Homo-oligomer: A and B are copies of this chain.
Amino acid sequence: MVKRIGIIGLGTVGESAIRSLKRYASLIRKRTSLKIEIVRVCDTNRAKRSVAKKYSLKFASDPFQIINDPAIDIVLELIGGIHPAKEYIVGSLKKGKDVVTANKALLAECGQELFSLAARRKKNIGFEGSVCGAIPLIKSISEGLVGCEVNDIYAILNGTTNYILDRMHRQKMQFRDALEEAQCRGFAERNPSLDIEGKDALHKLCILAYLCFGVWPSFKKVYVEGIGKISLLDVLYAEEMDFRIKLLAIAKREKSGLDLRVHPTLIPYDHPLSEVHSSFNAIFLNTCPAGELLFYGKGAGGVATSSSIMSDIVNVSLRGGHFSRSIEDVKLKNMRSRTSRYYIRFMAQDKPGVLAKIAKFLASYHISIASVNQKARGRNKFVPIVIVTHEAREDRLRKALAQIDRLSMIKAPSQVIRIEDL
């Protein structure tokens, strides 16, 4: 079988896809009998004609030269962002083409609409590269776990924030220095807010929520907290208590609803997720009957993602794409009603009675203290007091902290990080 490919977007991912297809097409043909040919590549930036030239490919600056070309079977949408990527995908499906994309922001926002259009047109959208770049995660969940219920997900879905937290832990760097280093080394964008604020992880969590639970959550209903407020001080306290801090995307199927959220989390240092270093991604699943599973690999980068793009091309060509997931009526759990253990760091005036006051407020909201760490007095006006709570309700904790933060002896706001006892 021959499949003819058109590529829209000649950035890092687009060019890597070309290079990998040139290099590995013969391998794929040997393994599967599928012959892959690149018919034409496109970028609205005409300067990218040089990329086409480098690989002796036909160039177009108008994406519709690809979308409307009857000789093309599969369109790779590799420009990212919502518009006009969405219009290109819709156009391609309507013209009877399969689509391969790594565009997590678009799928998180318009996945339901795009997948149902594809189903109506009996076409496929391959999206292996949209979550955890090189890890064959979509295929593993959709097909490898086809007889499994996924109950919980704990995932490191963003390489930039993992790189920064890893540097803070292993090199004892301040957040700002780690971010700067990440930018210098190409692990963070010049404007890193999508990553730092947890939104990129949220996009990927939404795609996983569709795959695992049949729900396309609205962004507004998912709690998201980034890593911008994590200080080296918290990292050091976490280590003292045998924890590491990771930005986790979490999904838990509970009786009262599906609990979805993205936030910095203290996890035990000897859990496999703690050993996910640098900009790697990993996803830990609790399933029935397959039990605990963990997948680890490169989460981004053109070269790594090209592996998923090739797998998608084979999958939509020979295997009919991923199994479509029916949408279910799943209620999202309210963040405020959930419980957790908490790490709380207060910056308090170093004088008698402070701890007693804090403890009193916590107790009045039924928040029970598991441990307190108050270091010897320093020369600073404010000294850290670190409290770890037992399981407590989020809404009660917030109310207690609002009151404590109003005390003159406390430098507000106090730092709160959730603990997951994986």
Contact = CB atoms under 8 A, between A and B. Distances in A.
Interface in A12-35: 16, 20-21, 24, 27-28, 30-32
A383 to B, nearest CB: 32
Contacts of A311: 143-147
B16 A289 contact: yes
Contacts of A290: 134-135, 297-298, 304, 307-308
B303 A293 contact: no
Contact of A293 (B271, B297, B301): B297
A307 to B, nearest CB: 4
Contacts of A298: 290-292
Contacts of A295: 293-296
A315 B135 contact: no
Interface string A253-296: 00000000000000000111011110010100001011111111
Interface in A128-158: 128, 134-136, 139-140, 143-149
Contacts of A136: 139-140, 143-145
A377 interface: no
Nearest to A296: B294
A252 to B, nearest CB: 19
Contacts of A24: 147-149, 289
Contacts of A319: 143, 319-320
Contact of A128 (B144, B271, B292, B326): B144
Nearest to A36: B147
Interface of A: 16, 20-21, 24, 27-28, 30-32, 128, 134-136, 139-140, 143-149, 270-272, 274-277, 280, 282, 287, 289-298, 301, 303-304, 306-308, 310-311, 314-315, 318-320, 323, 325-326
A148 B291 contact: no
A128 B21 CA distance: 28
Q: How many copies does the complex hold?
A: 2
B147 A314 contact: yes
Nearest to A170: B270
A303 B293 CA distance: 14
Contacts of A287: 307
Q: Which of the listed residues A28, A277, A295, A318 has the most CB atoms from chain B within 10 Å of its own CB?
A: A295
Contacts of A148: 24, 307, 310
Contact of A289 (B149, B270, B306): B306
Closest 7 CB pairs of A and B: A136-B144, A147-B310, A290-B307, A294-B296, A134-B290, A293-B297, A24-B147
Q: Which of the listed residues A293, A315, A319 has the most CB atoms from chain B within 10 Å of its own CB?
A: A293
B296 A326 contact: no
A410 to B, nearest CB: 37
Nearest to A20: B289
A146 B289 contact: no
A320 to B, nearest CB: 8
B303 A292 contact: no
Contacts of A318: 320
Contacts of A30: 326
Q: Which of the listed residues A147, A271, A291, A293 has the most CB atoms from chain B within 10 Å of its own CB?
A: A147
A245 to B, nearest CB: 16
A293 B134 contact: yes
Contacts of A139: 136, 139-140, 143-144
A153 B24 CA distance: 20
A28 B147 CA distance: 6
13 contacts: A128-B144, A140-B140, A144-B308, A145-B311, A147-B314, A280-B292, A289-B303, A290-B304, A292-B298, A294-B297, A295-B296, A296-B296, A319-B320
Q: Which of the listed residues A287, A306, A311 has the most CB atoms from chain B within 10 Å of its own CB?
A: A311
Nearest to A326: B30
Contact of A143 (B277, B291, B306, B314): B314
A143 B20 CA distance: 16
A22 to B, nearest CB: 11
Contacts of A149: 24, 27
